[in-house]
Amino acid sequence: MGVYNNISEIIGQTPVLRLNGFMNKYQLNSDIVAKLEYFNPNHSAKDRTALGMINAAEQSGELTPDITLVERTSGNTGIGLAAIAAARGYKFRVYINDFASGERTTVMKAFGAEVVPFSTVAGFKQALEEANGDYIASTRWLKQNVIDQQQGVLFTGQLENQANPLIHYQTTGPEIWQQTSGKVDIVIATVGTGGTLSGVGRFLKEQNPAIKLIAVEPGKNSIRNRDNPEAKTITGIHSISDMTPELTPGAMNRALFDEIFAVETEQAVAAAREVAITDGILVGESSGAVLHAVTQLATRLDFQEKRIVVILPDSGLTYLSTGLFSD
């Protein structure tokens, strides 16, 4: 393997693992294999997104040593950006939900990031209420009313940045195709920005148009809004079923998705706990959502005896303080 010179060089080439214990537990008649993205250096698929966006900004000339990178994130993209920014000598500022896990905030600060909780941003609470909790609308408000008013910054904008799906088209998709020797029938992944599934899906459908893409979103009881302000959400995934065209992220290509499947938070938590016991892998809530989805979908006649690739985006280590694995 040799000696690497930068953390960017060890992003990607994550393993694919057959979930034998999980399949046996649920008596599933499909071949379920997991793309374990927590093997990236900062334990999530968002390392790829961060790398793609920083590389693109450097190549375009927008990012220079005097520029501060800025992003709004639920955590993992911020961790990836903070790490790569530190390794390449850039400053990084992140705007983050107050309810994000303590581990995420601590890790970003360890990399030298400036962490700004939403509660400290004037006007953001009201903007979030007016947007009825919508992630995309509130992010656009933050960019227009806060970030665009600052000097010497570059908003990476993972929701709109085409470098987001592109890096998955260039790396994650080809890796899955190569690791499965082209034997893949269905891919299931959660949807946050839409970059992972859009990039992976575009590449795989170019190889075989018959491959189906399943997008996992939160169920209606797991969406925080004015009607359900105390909802326990699934970190990092967002509802897309009712998404209007003007609020569809630029990084997402919904036309590629063959089906959208909703999962509630308690179902995602249960599945994440289960796979830790059945297969010895520790994953987060969003990975749990994918795993619950496959237990339901794999029982359908059109999914049986198929190879299903589940993309598990992050590690359970950043959820320890949330009670994900508590009794």
Are the C-beta atoms of 95 and 104 separated by less than 8 Å? no
Active-site residue among 46, 143, 212, 306?
46
Q: What is the pLDDT of residue 286?
A: 94
- Of 231, 238, 304, 292, whose CA–CA distance to 263 is shortest? 292
Active-site residue among 8, 239, 286, 315?
286
The model carries a pTM of 0.95
H-helix or E-strand spanning residue 36: strand 31-36
At residue 157 the predicted structure's pLDDT band, cuts being 50, 70 and 90, is very high
Q: Record the tokens describing residue 249, joined without a space.
A: 């992220």
Q: Tokens 């590629």 sit at which residue?
A: 256
Q: Which domains does the chain have, with CATH numbers?
A: 7-44+162-322 (3.40.50.1100), 46-155 (3.40.50.1100)
Q: How many helices (H) and strands (E) does the chain have?
A: 11, 10
For 273-297, write each residue's pLDDT tens digit.
Answer: 999 999 999 999 999 999 999 999 9
Q: CA-to-CA distance for 56 and 188, rounded, in angstroms? A: 27
Q: Going by DSSP bridges, is the β-strand pair 68-73/31-36 parallel, antiparallel, or unpaired?
A: unpaired
Higher pLDDT, 149 or 247: 149
To the query of whether residue 25 is one of the catalytic residues in this protein, the response is no
Average pLDDT of the segment spanning 134-162: 94
Q: What is the pLDDT of residue 246?
A: 83
At residue 40 the predicted structure's pLDDT band, cuts being 50, 70 and 90, is very high
Q: Going by DSSP bridges, is the β-strand pair 186-190/114-117 parallel, antiparallel, or unpaired?
A: unpaired
Strand-pairing partners, residue 310, are 34, 188
Q: Is residue 74 scored above 80 in pLDDT?
A: no
Mean pLDDT, rounded, of the chain: 94
Strand-pairing partners, residue 95, are 72, 116
Q: Is residue 253 scored above 80 in pLDDT?
A: yes
To the query of whether residue 8 is one of the catalytic residues in this protein, the response is no
Q: What is the pLDDT of residue 128?
A: 85
